[in-house]
Amino acid sequence: MTEEQYRKIVDELIELLDEGVYIVDKDGVGIHYNSAMAKTEQVSVGDVLGKKFHEAFPDFRLGESTIYKALTRNQKTRSDQQTYKNMYGKEITTENYTIPVIVSGETVAAIEVSKDITDMRTMSDTLLELREGAMKKESPRSPEIKTYTFDDILGRSDAFSAVVARARKAAENDASVFIYGETGTGKELFAQSIHNQGRRSGKPFLAQNCAAIPESLLEGILFGTTKGSFTGAVDRAGLFEQANGGTILLDEISAMPYDLQSKLLRVLQESYIRRIGGSKDIPVDVRIIATVNEHPEELMAKGLLRKDLYYRLNVINISIPPLRERKDDIALLSESFMEKYNKRYHKEIWMLSDEALEKLQAYDFPGNVRELENIIEQAVSMADNEHVLTSKLLNLPDFRVAKEPPVRFSDGMALDEYLSNIEAQIIADEMVKNNGNITKAAEALKIRRQTLQHKLKKYEIK
Ligand SMILES: Nc1ncnc2c1ncn2[C@@H]1O[C@H](COP(=O)(O)OP(=O)(O)OP(=O)(O)O)[C@@H](O)[C@H]1O
Ligand SMILES: [Mg+2]
């Protein structure tokens, strides 16, 4: 194959990608540059191809360029966030992967793959500004946001009462709290109650879901940024400063990048934060409540949660049992939800029939209390003039597979069968969570709809 043919193949290939691709030769001259990259940087391909890096991007300081580091120091950079101005002065933020290409010990090129996260950054900036705006008003929390107290936490089963008692104790002191509970078990409810009952109640309670924000932005959101830390960065307080004196709820803390977890640990130990790019240590006094919805031991085993951070946060441990393990609470919760939705829908359902309660107790609620609430809301809204909620008003998902997978793989078991069993169970659970919506379940499982349909048939999940 000639060099020209080979070049054409590479060009066609990188044109197909959504990510921007930029390849320079050993002298820093652009040899490949795709239109995705040109679109991000708002330059034309011709402005970069055949030109040296610093001609194409005159505003960029060479020492800060990842591509330059790759060429001169053979340095790989992964997911480094860069904010810079393109030729026409438009500011863009990208997340980059940059590698040197080394042949027989010699660096012959550098490749940069780049994801445009400008919109994401704008979004996170707006988010912080909005929060800051809300904080400046008189009340520490905006009135539209429902705040919970222990009075809102319902449940009398032994398993649950013990947990509530622990949480009440937690409100009396100031230690970090680690809450583990499946989705919908009331982690937010507990976190807010602990804050509102404690001595910090007059101060802000700020919640941040660590999974909802791109990794590279989370640090700035938590600790703030300083002017000049990267082009266009402004002086802004992060959540730690905004919540000073109060509480920060870090939801799904295992989604926080590993490096950031160790920075967080340092902040907790030293009670100082430093804004990105800043040199000043700013004292902060914030109580941390962290949550996870998978077992912490498993998260640590998977390398998603740092052990040292976990032990630092886990001063008070609150483990909320799933609803299927405290079925005694179903009646009480249902009645309270009936009352709530009677008002909303102008209905008069006064009680739950025995068989309706039995049906609810037989169900395993993968979505926990949130799911029960939805089921009761739906039932109440569907009711006519009746005063009893009967089982025919209950629309319970019914996607179960006959055989639960064996807990542990053991001798004599066929691997295929064991794995299929697990797959069937996961699919069935996801179908329940999504109320039988195949499209949504497929999205959650990150498989194609057709694939899911095929598997539903194969495993006879209906
Ligand atoms: N014990 C309870 N008593 C009354 N309502 C509850 C209880 N537990 C949960 N709820 C209700 O269930 C819903 C879900 O609760 P919450 O948002 O606190 O769950 P979560 O554990 O944070 O879920 P996720 O992991 O999905 O964020 C809320 O509407 C909450 O009021
Ligand atoms: Mg939550």
pLDDT digits (tens, 9 = 90+) for 354-400: 999 999 998 989 899 999 999 999 999 999 989 999 998 998 876 55
Does 25 score more than 90 pLDDT?
yes
- Tell me what the mean pLDDT of segment 203-209 comes to: 93
For residue 224, the CA-to-ligand 2 centroid distance in Å is 24
Residue 55 CA from chain centroid, whole number: 40
**Predicted pLDDT at 139:** 45
- Positive or negative torsion for Cα 184, 187, 190, 196: negative
For residue 149, the CA-to-ligand 1 centroid distance in Å is 12
> Is the pTM above the cut of 0.75?
no
**Predicted pLDDT at 84:** 72
Mean pLDDT of the chain: 87
Q: What is the spatial distance between Cα 167 and Cα 191, in angstroms, rounded to a whole number?
A: 9
Residue 140 has what DSSP assignment? S
Residue 124 — very low, low, confident or very high, per pLDDT cuts 50/70/90? confident
CA distances to 1, 4, 66, 410, 428 from 9, rounded to whole Å, are 11, 9, 26, 49, 44
- Tell me what the mean pLDDT of segment 37-43 comes to: 80
Alpha helices in 257-328 (DSSP H): 258-270, 296-301, 307-313
For residue 138, the CA-to-ligand 2 centroid distance in Å is 26
- Tell me what the mean pLDDT of segment 99-113 comes to: 93
- Positive or negative torsion for Cα 125, 127, 133, 135: negative
**Predicted pLDDT at 38:** 86
Does 316 score more than 70 pLDDT?
yes
- Closest by Cα among 376, 386, 388, 389 to 344: 376
For a pocket test of ligand 1, which of 153, 166, 177, 189 has the largest count of ligand atoms closer than 8 A to its C-beta?
Answer: 189
Nearest CA owner, ligand 1 atom 8: 186
Report residue 460: phi and psi, to 5°: 55, 45
Nearest CA owner, ligand 1 atom 30: 186
- Bridge partners (DSSP) of residue 77 are 98
Q: How many CB atoms lie within 10 A of CB 308?
A: 11
- Tell me what the mean pLDDT of segment 248-271 comes to: 94
Q: Which residue has the tokens 């011709």?
A: 46
**Predicted pLDDT at 140:** 47
What is the position in ligand 1's atom list of the atom closest to the CA of 183? 25
Q: What is the rounded end-to-end Cα distance, in angstroms, of the chain?
A: 54
- Closest by Cα among 96, 84, 98 to 43: 84
pLDDT digits (tens, 9 = 90+) for 415-435: 887 788 888 888 988 888 887
Strand order in the sheet with 287-292: 205-209, 247-251, 287-292, 177-180, 316-319
- Tell me what the mean pLDDT of segment 291-296 comes to: 95
CA distances to 104, 210, 242, 266, 398 from 261, rounded to whole Å, are 38, 11, 20, 9, 40
What is the position in ligand 1's atom list of the atom closest to the CA of 189? 18
Q: What is the spatial distance between Cα 174 and Cα 190, in angstroms, rounded to a whole number?
A: 15
For a pocket test of ligand 1, which of 161, 166, 188 has the largest count of ligand atoms closer than 8 A to its C-beta?
Answer: 188
**Predicted pLDDT at 144:** 47
Both tokens of 105, joined, read 């010990």
Q: Which residues line ligand 1 (CB under 6 A)?
A: 152-155, 181, 183-189, 293, 369-370, 373
Residue 347 — very low, low, confident or very high, per pLDDT cuts 50/70/90? very high
Q: What is the spatial distance between Cα 234 and Cα 44, in angstroms, rounded to a whole number?
A: 29
pLDDT digits (tens, 9 = 90+) for 138-177: 444 444 456 899 999 999 999 999 999 999 999 999 999 9
Nearest CA owner, ligand 1 atom 28: 370
Alpha helices in 177-316 (DSSP H): 187-197, 215-223, 239-242, 258-270, 296-301, 307-313
Does 238 score more than 70 pLDDT?
yes
Would you say 111 and 99 are in contact if contact means Cβ atoms under 8 Å apart?
Answer: yes
| Least confident span in 58-62, 134-138, 275-279 | 134-138
Report residue 341: phi and psi, to 5°: -85, -20
Q: Which residue has the higher pLDDT, 232 or 106?
A: 106
**Predicted pLDDT at 119:** 74
- Give kind and range of the element (H or E) at residue 341: helix 329-345
Residue 160 CA from chain centroid, whole number: 27
